[in-house]
Amino acid sequence: MPRKPRRTIRPINDMVLIRHDKAEAETSSGILLPDSARIEVLTGIVVAMPDKMKEDHLEYPFKEGDRVVYNTRERIPYNLDPRDPHYLVNYKFILGVVEEELPDEDEP
């Protein structure tokens, strides 16, 4: 049986490929949330970007692998897998980079 080719996309111009984060299915206390109670997630992981953006870190202050906040109204769906949504987004609609730090051991 012939293998299917793996499909990928390489963003061009000012576009970035983002894998959208999934909404939390339960609260921090363990209560399961129905779909109607979930809040729209505005974050995702930068999966791919054009080479010109990778080289210019001053104008594009994010990189592949960064979790970013982006305007979810300005996205073009590109679903490699319907259960794992990907979107093409113009870099101008990336609003911030999420920086995660571990709390000090003294903090609760």
Asked if residue 102 belongs to a domain, the reply is no
Q: What confidence score (pLDDT) does residue 53 get? A: 86
CA 91/CA 95 separation, integer angstroms: 9
CA 79/CA 85 separation, integer angstroms: 5
Mean pLDDT along residues 47-53:
90
Mean pLDDT along residues 95-100:
90
Asked if residue 73 belongs to a domain, the reply is yes
Number of domains in the chain: 1
Q: Residue 27 pLDDT > 60, yes or no?
A: no
The domain that holds 71 is classified in CATH as 2.30.33.40
pTM for the model stands at 0.73
Asked if residue 35 belongs to a domain, the reply is yes
Q: What is the pLDDT of residues 36-45, one digit of tens each?
A: 655 566 899 9
- Structural domain including 20 reads 15-97
Asked if residue 1 belongs to a domain, the reply is no
Least confident of 35-44, 54-63, 91-100: 35-44
CA 21/CA 98 separation, integer angstroms: 12
Q: Residue 28 pLDDT > 90, yes or no?
A: no
Mean pLDDT along residues 77-83:
76
DSSP class of residue 74 equals S
Asked if residue 93 belongs to a domain, the reply is yes
CA 2/CA 99 separation, integer angstroms: 44
Strand partners for 18 = 46, 87
Asked if residue 91 belongs to a domain, the reply is yes
